[in-house]
Chain A
Amino acid sequence: GEDVEQSLFLSVREGDSSVINCTYTDSSSTYLYWYKQEPGAGLQLLTYIFSNMDMKQDQRLTVLLNKKDKHLSLRIADTQTGDSAIYFCAESSEGNEKLTFGTGTRLTIIP
């Protein structure tokens, strides 16, 4: 079955860039997502990328996709304290809309 892997923790100094990585196994993945979960809350979609794209930029967020290596990354520029959260990578396939999530990466900001 599908598998999505992430490292569990990342610490970054305020103002630096954060890079959160994700690998997946399903070669038929059509959509790849990044969700953010703040404490005590549900998940919110941050951004997504179609599998035929290499990169997507949205303000401070940059998503890179290496489809050959099945590697997805999320870069957050100028990381702020409000970026502290758990970030989930997820994937779904055309015609199979259930999302498969990674383990989540807890991002901690160091003042």
Chain B
Amino acid sequence: DAEITQSPRHKITETGRQVTLACHQTWNHNNMFWYRQDLGHGLRLIHYSYGVHDTNKGEVSDGYSVSRSNTEDLPLTLESAASSQTSVYFCASTSDRGATEAFFGQGTRLTVV
């Protein structure tokens, strides 16, 4: 079965370190998204991509970057981790423009100490 997987599921890192969270989908979806989930804020969009070599900033993109070198992967990099980036991160994908369902990964819980 097609799926979307995130790794690692849990990570603890120190302030100032570079961290990369992986997202891999086997749906062959063009659209991929990264969200962060925080209490009282719901899910906020960090970055998104509509296809290979396409990346776009979401509403909370500062301190994060993504790259899309193939259809399957959209890694999220925290350039210099800050305590404010402690959160649960979700990757999602959709197939086409106007798609009605987004498929989500299980999430990565990141703690910055």
| A interface residues, Cβ below 8 angstroms from B | 1, 4, 6, 8, 30-31, 33, 40-45, 48, 88, 94-95, 97-104
Contact of A42 among B94, B98, B107 (CB under 8 A): B107
Interface residues on B, range: 20 to 34
Are B100 and A42 within 8 A (Cβ)?
no
* Beta-carbon contact of A88 and B43 below 8 Å: yes
Can you list 21 A-B contacts with CB-CB less than 8 angstroms, sorted by A residue number?
A: A4-B42, A6-B42, A31-B98, A40-B107, A41-B106, A42-B90, A42-B104, A42-B105, A42-B106, A42-B107, A43-B90, A45-B100, A94-B98, A97-B31, A97-B98, A98-B45, A98-B48, A99-B43, A99-B45, A99-B102, A100-B45
Cα of A41 to Cα of B88 in the assembled complex, Å = 11
Cα-based distance from A13 to B58 in the complex (angstroms): 39
From A4, A8, A43, A100, residue with most partner B Cβ within 10 Å = A43
CB <8 Å contact, A97 and B94 = yes
Given contacts A43-B90, A101-B35, A101-B42, whether A48 and B105 have CB atoms under 8 Å apart is: no
- Where chain A touches its partner, the secondary structure class is strand
In the A-B complex, the 4 residue pairs with the closest CB atoms: A42-B104, A103-B42, A101-B43, A45-B101
A98/B42 in contact, CB under 8 A: no
Produce 1/0 per residue, B73-100, CB < 8 A to A: 0000000000000000010101001111
Closest Cβ of chain B: how far from A100's Cβ, in Å?
7
| Chain A residues whose CB sits within 8 angstroms of the CB of B59 once the complex forms | 1
